[in-house]
Amino acid sequence: MPRDLEISNFYSTWQKTKARKGRQQANHLAYIAHIHLGRQKLAELSGLQLLMNYAPAALSSFSENWKLASLGLQSS
């Protein structure tokens, strides 16, 4: 999958997750994408700069967050 399409798919998933399951789980998705896609490329997308600045602060346990993020991605 081309990188730009992958990022676009993530952003769409993030918006749906935020609407359906709330901001905290959407932030978990953002953190996983931050690791997977890279902070710089995500920061180029409109609306994600602020998200990328505060999402890491919302984390408590990486393994738990990974599980929640994976569930969010699978259900979209």
Sequence spans of domains, the chain: 3-74
What's the pLDDT tens digit per position in 21-38?
Answer: 777 777 777 777 766 666
What's the pLDDT tens digit per position in 48-62?
Answer: 555 555 555 544 445
The pTM (predicted TM-score) of the whole model is 0.33
Answer yes or no: are the C-beta atoms of 28 and 57 closer than 8 Å: no
The model's confidence at residue 15, banded by pLDDT at 50, 70 and 90, is confident
Nearest to 23 by CA among 50, 62, 58, 49: 58
For 1, 25, 29, 55, the CA distances from 67, given in Å and listed in that order, are 23, 10, 10, 16
